[in-house]
Amino acid sequence: MKRFALILLLTVFTAAQTAPSAPASQNENARKAREIIDQGIAALGGQAYLNATEKSEEGRFFTFHHGEPTGTPVLFGLYTKYPDKDRLEIIHLRSYHFLIFDVGSIPVKDKSDIIVIHNGDKGYEITYKGTAMVEPEDLAAYLRRREHSLDAVLRRWINEPGVALFYDGSAIAAGKPVVQVTVLNTQNDSVTLFFDQNTHLPVKKSYSWRDPTDKYRNTEEEIYDNYRQTDGVMAPHSLTRYYNGDMSYQRLLNTVSFSQKLDDNLFQAGATYDPKALKR
């Protein structure tokens, strides 16, 4: 009996010594994923990208419904102060081809002029009527996009305790050969990133979420293209957004700057009226 137990013990020990180590395999996969992400950050500009605190953009955007355009292109200026402030200006009395070099308080006069400010978890819409809080549904969609943005993932997610990185292999995204990586945080929320195999620049980002009302899962994707260097950072001048496979938004930029100093007052607002109260 003792001899049988000894043989069994030796067999188990030998098997443990020769069997492949699952944790080692997982560690190698995570190491490969981190290497790809680090290459992507370096391609974006490395520390110049990570240390950028402000971004100013001007260009035009298009909106779509079920993949079909909903109107004409809209000229805009967008000013961002990381990590949680931005100001979108759609002012028809001003030429946005020169906007980026002259930021300041702009009067809203035309009925189609809009300024939208996000500061933390608050959103404000300024029109000729005054300043109102952004509708809760629109604010929730914005906050979800910001939380899953490329900047949020590369600047914050990957450095959070407990984050898991997965190398998913090669793929094709936006017609380009890419390598695919998934970032999973401790809330079981994930974002999948696709990096160009040649330039290492981000090509695509994808994430899914469950609608709290109808319980269906929705997938949002962004395609990045037409990269140009400015202030030491490679910035995509074309961004196309998809919602459940249909094109929903496209932004084409004329100018991007990471060096312009933006005053905090640009991101301050307070509601002056309630649109719902006016309808009663």
Q: What is the pLDDT along the chain (280 residues), one digit of tens a residue?
A: 444 444 444 444 444 444 455 577 889 999 999 999 999 999 999 999 999 999 999 999 999 988 888 888 999 999 999 999 999 999 765 544 444 334 445 555 566 789 999 999 999 999 989 999 999 999 999 999 999 999 999 999 999 999 999 999 999 999 999 999 999 999 999 999 999 999 999 999 999 999 988 999 999 999 999 999 999 999 999 999 999 999 999 999 999 999 989 999 999 999 999 988 766 5
Give the pLDDT confidence score for residue 148 in this predicted structure. 98
Give the pLDDT confidence score for residue 72 in this predicted structure. 87
Tally Cβ neighbours within 10 Å of residue 83.
13
Both structure tokens of 229: 């260097």
CA angle, corner 254, sides to 48 and 55, nearest 5? 35
Give the pLDDT confidence score for residue 8 in this predicted structure. 43
Give the pLDDT confidence score for residue 159 in this predicted structure. 97
Give the pLDDT confidence score for residue 65 in this predicted structure. 87
List of residues 6+ apart from 235 with CB closer than 8 A: 55, 227, 228, 229, 253, 256, 258
**Domains in the chain: ranges and CATH:** 24-279 (2.50.20.10)
Question: What beta strand segments (E) does 121-278 contain?
Answer: 122-127, 130-133, 164-173, 176-184, 190-196, 202-210, 217-230, 233-243, 246-257
